[in-house]
């Protein structure tokens, strides 16, 4: 598929419902140091569709994607095969470098099906921020900054705790019965538009304009992140009360609240901003979450703690 041929991609502005999913993606973009989003949820909930649409809305291209059957040379880089077979050694960047060059987002669809040795590579790179290659006659070391975005269906198994921890935010995606009708309408409408690709209808052009407007507002939010210092204590208290492992939870919570405030146009981070992102930042860090592999351990008890700490 030509990267420019996007008639088959539903525009981001056409995504119906799934507010937590879109919020997480937007937060991760506005505050890239959060280091990515894991979307875990039921089949047929539009996870992959939304991620692709989001990437296209931001960068006018599909995300750099690691498919589950990728070989190591394509992940870390290797040689261009056609040129090699003609006797010329021309390096070919791997997907990690491509993602770094394209803004940082590295997308893995069905991340829980990824081969173990590829997972090990990603764990190493995301932990150290360094891509070091010593293979096939290539030797180099490069600093890279990537943000993993993964989608998965937990029915097919969970993630290793180390990989789960690499995702800054996690969303448990569920079917929204109240939106089924609208989803149906949108998709059928879109199917019809795809059937006549040479004449996109007016509503589709309008959605693309809305996408452009959304991109601009996200970029503005990126430029006006409020100071997170005033809410650090609250974030630490919340993560301590929820018995989250390590300090990363508090850090991500603060960064996510910062981004949420910017998206809402707040000059300062409010308690509601923290409340809005608490589950996204912490649900895969509370005790027991990693044993499930999909982090889905957030419930009424955790919400009660949030309410108690934030008031």
Partner 1 sequence: MSMPTPALEAFLRALAVAAIHPGLHSVLLFDADKDELDVAEVCLRTFLETFLEEPIEAFTLGPYHHEQELWGDGLEGRGFSNGGGLLVTPEGAPLRVVVIRDLSVLGVDAARACIQLMDSPIAHLERHGRQLSFTPRILWLAGCARDAVGEVSAHLLDRFALRLHPPGWCADPRERLRGSLRGVPLKPDPALVHRVKRDVGRVRVCLRAGAEHTPPPAPSVFDCILGAIGTAPSEGSRRQLSLARLAVGLARLEQAQLARRHVVEAVELLGFGAAGAPARPSPARKGAASVLSDGGGVLQDPLEEGGAAAPSGVLGAHDPQEVFERLRRAALGALAEEVNDLYQGAQQVFPVASLPGTSAPEAPIPLDADHVFPEDKAPVRRQYAALRVATSERSRFRGPIIGTRVTDRMDEVALIPTLMAASLYQAFRRQRSTRPEAEGVILLKSDLRAWRRGQTAERLLIVVLDVTACHDSVEALEPFLRRAYVDRAAVRVISVGALGGENELRARAVATRGVLDPDLARALDQAPGQATPLAHGLYLALRAVREHCHHGRGSMNRVEIVVLTDGLGNVPLAASLSGRISGPVAGEGIEDALVVAGELSRLKSTESFLIPAPLVRAPDVLRTLADALGVADPPALQGEAR
Residue 291 sits in the site that holds partner 1 (CB under 8 A): no
Q: Which residues pair with 109 in a beta bridge?
A: 151
Binding residues among 228-287 for partner 1 as defined by CB under 8 A? none
Q: Spell out, one character per residue from 116 to 135, where the chain touches partner 1: x when CB under 8 A holds, - when not.
A: xx-----------------x
19, 129, 134, 188: which one contacts partner 1 (CB under 8 A)?
A: 188
Checking 92-99 for CB contacts under 8 A at 24+ apart, the result is 94/131, 94/133, 95/64, 95/65, 95/66, 95/70, 96/121, 96/122, 96/125, 96/131, 96/144, 96/146, 97/131, 97/142, 97/144, 98/64, 99/64, 99/144, 99/146
Binding residues among 156-185 for partner 1 as defined by CB under 8 A? 156-157, 174-175, 177, 180-181, 183-185
Stretch that binds partner 1, among 30-38, 112-120, 231-239, 282-290 (CB under 8 A): 112-120
DSSP H or E stretch at residue 280? helix 271-282
Stretch that binds partner 1, among 110-118, 213-221, 266-274, 275-283 (CB under 8 A): 110-118
DSSP H or E stretch at residue 40? strand 37-41
What is the C-alpha to C-alpha distance for residues 218 and 263, in angstroms, rounded to an integer? Answer: 7
What is the C-alpha to C-alpha distance for residues 120 and 118, in angstroms, rounded to an integer? Answer: 5
Catalytic residue among 142, 145, 160, 248: 248
CB of 8 vs partner 1, minimal distance in Å = 4
Q: Spell out, one character per residue from 57 to 76, where the chain touches partner 1: x when CB under 8 A holds, - when not.
A: -----x--xxxxxxxxxxx-
Active site residue 248: yes
Residue 33 sits in the site that holds partner 1 (CB under 8 A): no
Dihedral of the CA atoms 175, 283, 255, 29 (nearest 10)? Answer: -30
What is the C-alpha to C-alpha distance for residues 232 and 185, in angstroms, rounded to an integer? Answer: 44
Contacts with partner 1, residue ranges (CB under 8 A): 1-3, 8-9, 42-46, 48, 52, 62, 65-75, 78-81, 84-89, 92, 95, 109-110, 112-113, 115-117, 135-137, 153, 155-157, 174-175, 177, 180-181, 183-185, 187-189, 191-192, 194-196, 198-199
Tell me the catalytic residues.
Answer: 248
């Amino acid at each position: 598929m030509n990267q420019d041929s996007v008639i088959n991609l539903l525009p981001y502005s056409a995504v119906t419902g799934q507010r937590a999913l879109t919020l997480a993606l937007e937060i991760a973009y506005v505050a890239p140091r959060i280091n990515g989003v894991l979307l875990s949820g039921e089949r047929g909930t539009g996870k992959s569709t939304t991620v692709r649409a989001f990437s296209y809305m931001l960068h006018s291209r599909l995300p750099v994607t690691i498919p589950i059957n990728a070989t190591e040379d394509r992940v870390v880089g290797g040689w261009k095969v056609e040129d090699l077979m003609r006797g010329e050694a021309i390096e070919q960047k791997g997907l990690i470098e491509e993602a770094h060059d394209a803004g940082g987002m590295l997308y893995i669809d069905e991340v829980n099906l990824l081969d173990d040795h590829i997972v090990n590579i990603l764990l190493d790179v995301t932990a150290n921020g360094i891509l070091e290659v010593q293979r096939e006659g290539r030797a180099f070391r490069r600093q890279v900054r990537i943000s993993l975005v993964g989608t998965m269906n937990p029915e097919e198994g969970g993630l290793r705790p180390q990989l789960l921890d690499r995702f800054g935010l996690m969303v448990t995606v569920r079917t929204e019965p109240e939106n089924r009708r609208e989803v149906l309408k949108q998709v059928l409408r879109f199917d019809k538009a795809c059937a006549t690709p040479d004449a996109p209808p007016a509503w589709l052009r309008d959605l693309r304009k809305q996408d452009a407007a959304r991109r601009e507002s996200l970029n503005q939010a990126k430029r006006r992140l409020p100071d997170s210092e005033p809410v650090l204590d609250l974030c630490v208290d919340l993560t301590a009360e929820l018995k989250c492992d390590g300090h990363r939870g508090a850090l991500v919570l603060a960064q996510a609240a910062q981004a949420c405030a910017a998206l809402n146009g707040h000059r300062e981070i409010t308690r509601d901003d923290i409340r809005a992102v608490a589950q996204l930042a912490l649900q895969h860090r509370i005790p027991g979450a990693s044993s499930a592999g999909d982090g889905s351990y957030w419930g009424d008890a955790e919400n009660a703690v949030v309410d108690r700490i934030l008031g």
